[in-house]
Amino acid sequence: MKEKFLNIKFKGMGSPCEITLMGSPNEEETLTALQHEVSRLEQKYSRFLKNSVLNAINASAGDPRGFTVDEETLAIFQHAAACYDQSDGLFDITAGPLNKIWDYRKAIVPDKNTIEETLQNVGFKRIAIKNRKVFLPSGMELDFGGIVKEYAADRLATIASKNSNLMGLINLGGDFAVIGSKHTKYKPWKVGISCPKRPSVAIAEIALHHGGLASSGDYLRCFELHGKRYSHLLNPVTGYPSTGWQSVSIAAPSCLLAGSIATIAMLKPLQESSDFLRDAGLAFVAVDSDGKMLTNLE
Amino acid sequence: MSKRSVHNKIKKRYSRSILALSGTALTLSSMSYADAPPTQSTVSIKSTNYQEDDLLSNEVLFGELSRYDIDVHQFQLVTPVTRNSSLQVNGSYDSLSGASPWFTSANSEGEPIVNLSGASGIYDTRRELSIGGSYYLENETVNLSIGRSAENDYNAAFINFGFTHQLNNRLTTIGVNTSISNDEIFPTDAEKFNRIKSASKRSVSTALSISHIINRFSAYQTAISVTNQKGFLSDPYKLRDVRPNSKSQYAWTNSFRIFFEKMDAALHSNYRLYHDDFGIGSHTVDFSWHQNLSTYIPFDLRFVPSIRYYTQSSANFFTNIDDFSSDPLAPQSSDYRLAAFGAISAGINFIADLNNLRITAGGERDQAKSKYSAYNVSRPSTALVRFSRISIGFDFSY
Amino acid sequence: MTLIQKHILGLLVLLSTLNLTACVEVRAWEKGYLAKEEMAWNPDILEDALAKHIFFSKEASSGSSSAAGGGCGCN
């Protein structure tokens, strides 16, 4: 097999994306299919596109007839339900309204009453799902952040892997998925883990043979006030920003799994999160607010 | 902090919450839109050698001892046409040699004995070609195929229509499948042996099936099929073979599939109850175990051992010693396939996936005996077959 | 009665004997294992076709979840 690298960069799902492919005679077709898939998912689940399924569901809030969703969206809900259950309510796709009251540019902490009021409209368990219908209570809204981009990376890898000659790597704004069969004998992809404060500096490197890698972190979206760091990741139980890690990166059998666990680890209190990560059985790199690194990499 | 180069060593034992999450994540990521059209073309070929054991010399009075030896070559092409349609072409070429029972008589002790067809034996080829298309809708698939089959003394033309519909959140699939076949037989050496010059028959068959997903590890399917045949249903090569000119067959099939997560294996079990108006009833039970071995070896390999048990009762008009003195128009046949018997078979298949090439190899051994019958055997046939087959197949996807 | 009429009547009679059992509901998203190839009703189409053909020619019975094809002088 002649090895030929093909690398494209594009903007998708609000992030810089990169696809690296090698080893196929019809990789151009595959690339077209992959970009098509990115735009399909973007149009379906973007918060910024009026006609997206996500916005249609949000628009249905309070409608007693519910909103009928397709199988793919249903599967996303189920994964969101598992994330909610396994994080004791910390990973919550209904946490969106909290983002509106925490203004990072103005660096203002909202008052208690506002937070209490907003929390009335948060809580995944208040959504009813029956058959194919989703019943979203009035005032609530959904955000598939932490799920859809990771899922998209896996989808692309799955689609590309159907062409059994292909190997490669998908990178959707830091969410990675490996293309190729589990048994493809090829050297692993090395993915650098950025320093949360200086994204261009790698603090560790994870060798990915298969599956995916995802990170969750403050990166530059946080503010400090009176010596306290306010992360953009909000705890949907308290209404306040999480105070744990600056960033968590996980390698897992799929990018979606990696991303979900990274998000949960970000939201858990530091000590509990450390235990959670150690017990997870997956390769991880976590950086705390002082820049100290915790990892199970050797 | 210095840059560290490390290996991604993942513990094999995941925590419970990770397992819970990976379940839904895996489902979402690997979600196949059930009954989706193929996304790539696949060419499959399979060659099989089928061989029947020789009859024992004390079972044969006249003719050759050896039975059929058949080479079967199958071909299939499945290719996507549009985003929701696909084309399928199937071909097969069989070459056959050997002998088949001609008539049965009694030996000096009054036991039945087989007379195999002429010393020249039988040499025949069978060519079959069918072409079909499938169209996939969100919850439905429709397919239509037509085909022809030709042998030296037999032609058939058939058409098949199938429809499936998924309902109940795609947990249940109902299917209808109908085929019509027009067959024509024109026996060789018709004049010499005073055989019928040509005859025809028509078959209509319909199957209705319901499959249901029980839980995320198992699924069940039940189906009924009805086949009606009309026309010349006898065997023109047998010296004395008269059968009714219509036949109705009913079958009720039940299939169960279960996946064992820890063993990375699937169990298939099937049971069929059958009845027809020739008076034959039968039971068929089979099991196969689909064991994945990819955890132990560096490529995808699966092996599939299987066992099958079959038993049938005899047709009302079956005789094991041809009676040439009876009414020549009264139904009578010594065809061993109309006798009461039982058959046990065992087989194994290996399936190896090497990127875009799949190699399948396997074999099966089948023995039919009167004593295996679960039904009463008042007139045992001496012509029951014992056969072996070995196959090798290649699937190439591009 | 024509062949087709007889055929339809036979189908209706058999259909009336079919009983559907209710099952636990499984959500679409839980179908991961069922999508595996070894869980298909017929994982190997050519093998299945061949086995059916052989048993059709050696035994009196025929019929399955798909319609029985005709078209062979072997039975």
Q: Phi-psi category of A31—alpha, beta or left, where left has phi over 0 and alpha has psi -120 to 50?
A: alpha
CB of B169 within 8 Å of a chain C CB? The answer is yes
Element (H, E) at B362: strand B357-369
pLDDT at residue B11 in the model: 41
Looking at the DSSP bridge assignments, the partners of residue A189 are: A208
Q: Phi-psi category of B189—alpha, beta or left, where left has phi over 0 and alpha has psi -120 to 50?
A: left
pLDDT at residue A197 in the model: 76
Q: For residue B47, what pLDDT band results from cuts at 50, 70 and 90?
A: very high
Residue listed under structure tokens 């994330």: A83
pLDDT at residue A274 in the model: 92
Strand ranges, E, within chain A? 5-12, 15-22, 67-68, 128-130, 133-135, 167-172, 175-179, 189-194, 202-208, 212-217, 222-225, 228-231, 247-252, 283-287, 293-295
How far, in Å, CA of B222 to CA of A102, rounded? 57
Nearest one of B54, B70, B115, B97 to B334, comparing CA atoms: B115
* The pair of three-digit structure tokens given for residue A206, joined into one six-digit string: 């994870």
C36 contact residues in A (CB cutoff 8 A): none
Residue B29, pLDDT above cutoff 90: no
Amino acid at the residue A103: D
* The pair of three-digit structure tokens given for residue A30, joined into one six-digit string: 């595959």
Q: What would the DSSP string read from start to end of A66-85?
A: -EE--HHHHHHHHHHHHHHH
How far, in Å, CA of B295 to CA of A173, rounded? 32
pLDDT at residue B55 in the model: 73
Domains located in chain A, CATH noted: 53-135 (1.10.3980.10), 187-295 (3.10.520.10)
How far, in Å, CA of B391 to CA of C53, rounded? 14
pLDDT at residue A284 in the model: 93
10 Å Cβ neighbour count for B298?
A: 10
Centroid of chain to Cα A120: 25
10 Å Cβ neighbour count for A296?
A: 17
pLDDT at residue C25 in the model: 47
B175 contact residues in C (CB cutoff 8 A): 65
**Closest approach of C12 to chain B, Cα-based (Å):** 10
pLDDT at residue B33 in the model: 44
Residue A5, pLDDT above cutoff 50: yes
Residue C70, pLDDT above cutoff 60: no
pLDDT at residue B368 in the model: 95
State which residue of chain A sits closest to C32, comparing Cα positions. A75
Residue A133, pLDDT above cutoff 90: no
CB pairs B-C closer than 8 Å: 243
How far, in Å, CA of B9 to CA of C12, rounded? 61
pLDDT at residue B7 in the model: 36
Q: For residue B62, what pLDDT band results from cuts at 50, 70 and 90?
A: low
Over residues B379-398, the mean pLDDT reads: 91
Residue B12, pLDDT above cutoff 50: no
Q: What is the pLDDT of residues A186-212, one digit of tens each?
A: 678 888 888 877 777 888 888 888 889
Residue listed under structure tokens 């590309």: A160
Give, in order, the Cα–Cα distances in Å from B271 to each of A173, B240, B256, B346.
52, 34, 9, 16
pLDDT at residue B31 in the model: 55
CB of B383 within 8 Å of a chain C CB? The answer is no
Asked if the B45-397 domain carries CATH number 2.40.160.40, the reply is: yes
CB of A149 within 8 Å of a chain C CB? The answer is no
Chains touching C, CB cut-off 8 Å, 3+ pairs: A, B
Over residues B311-318, the mean pLDDT reads: 96
- The beta-carbon neighbor of B299 closest among A158, A183, A208 is A183
C29 contact residues in A (CB cutoff 8 A): 71, 74-75, 77-79
How far, in Å, CA of B166 to CA of B211, rounded? 9
Yes or no, beta carbons of A164 and B10 under 8 Å apart: no
Q: What is the DSSP letter of A289?
A: T
State which residue of chain A sits closest to B4, comparing Cα positions. A204
CB of A74 within 8 Å of a chain C CB? The answer is yes
Nearest one of C52, C50, C74 to B100, comparing CA atoms: C74
Global pTM reads 0.64
C54 contact residues in B (CB cutoff 8 A): 50, 387, 389
Yes or no, beta carbons of B74 and C10 under 8 Å apart: no
pLDDT at residue B30 in the model: 58
pLDDT at residue C32 in the model: 54
Yes or no, beta carbons of B171 and C28 under 8 Å apart: yes
Over residues A242-267, the mean pLDDT reads: 90
C27 contact residues in A (CB cutoff 8 A): 74, 78
Residue B37, pLDDT above cutoff 70: no
Q: What is the pLDDT of residues B108-156, one digit of tens each?
A: 677 777 766 654 567 788 999 999 999 988 788 999 999 999 988 899 9
pLDDT at residue B153 in the model: 87
Centroid of chain to Cα A109: 25
Residue B329, pLDDT above cutoff 80: yes
Residues 29-68 of B with CB under 8 A from C: 30-32, 34, 44, 46, 48, 50
* The pair of three-digit structure tokens given for residue A105, joined into one six-digit string: 């540019």
Residue A132 burial (10 A CB sphere; 0-12, 13-18, 19+): middle
Yes or no, beta carbons of A74 and C30 under 8 Å apart: no
Q: What is the pLDDT of residues A137-181, one digit of tens each?
A: 998 999 888 899 999 999 999 888 877 677 889 999 889 999 876
Q: What is the pLDDT of residues B247-276, one digit of tens each?
A: 999 999 999 999 887 888 999 999 999 999
How far, in Å, CA of A190 to CA of A173, rounded? 16
B21 contact residues in A (CB cutoff 8 A): 79, 82-83, 86, 257, 260-261
Instruction: Report the percent of chain B where pLDDT is more than 90.
Output: 52
Q: What are phi and psi of B17, to 5 degrees?
A: -65, -35
Over residues A206-223, the mean pLDDT reads: 79
Pick the most confident of A76-90, B137-151, B302-316, C25-39.
B302-316
Yes or no, beta carbons of C30 and A78 under 8 Å apart: yes
- The beta-carbon neighbor of B210 closest among C20, C44, C69 is C20
A75 contact residues in C (CB cutoff 8 A): 28-29
Q: What would the DSSP string read from start to end of B152-185?
A: TTEEEEEEEEEEEEEETTTTEEEEEEEEEEEEEE
Q: What are phi and psi of A137, to 5 degrees?
A: -65, 155
Residue B4, pLDDT above cutoff 50: no
Residues whose CB is less than 8 angstroms from the CB of residue A60 and which lie 6 or more positions away in sequence, other chains included:
A66, A67, A134, A136
Q: What is the pLDDT of residues C3-56, one digit of tens each?
A: 888 887 777 776 665 544 444 444 433 445 676 788 888 889 899 999 999 999
- The beta-carbon neighbor of B207 closest among C17, C59, C65 is C65
pLDDT at residue B306 in the model: 97
Mean of all residue pLDDT scores within chain A: 84
Residues 30-59 of C with CB under 8 A from B: 30-36, 38-39, 41, 43-47, 49-51, 54-55, 58-59
Q: What is the DSSP letter of A45?
A: H
Which residue intervals of A60-199 are DSSP H helices? Answer: 71-86, 96-101, 112-119, 148-161
pLDDT at residue C27 in the model: 44
CB of B204 within 8 Å of a chain C CB? The answer is yes
A71 contact residues in C (CB cutoff 8 A): 28-29
Instruction: Report the percent of chain A where pLDDT is more than 70.
Output: 89
* The pair of three-digit structure tokens given for residue A145, joined into one six-digit string: 């952040």
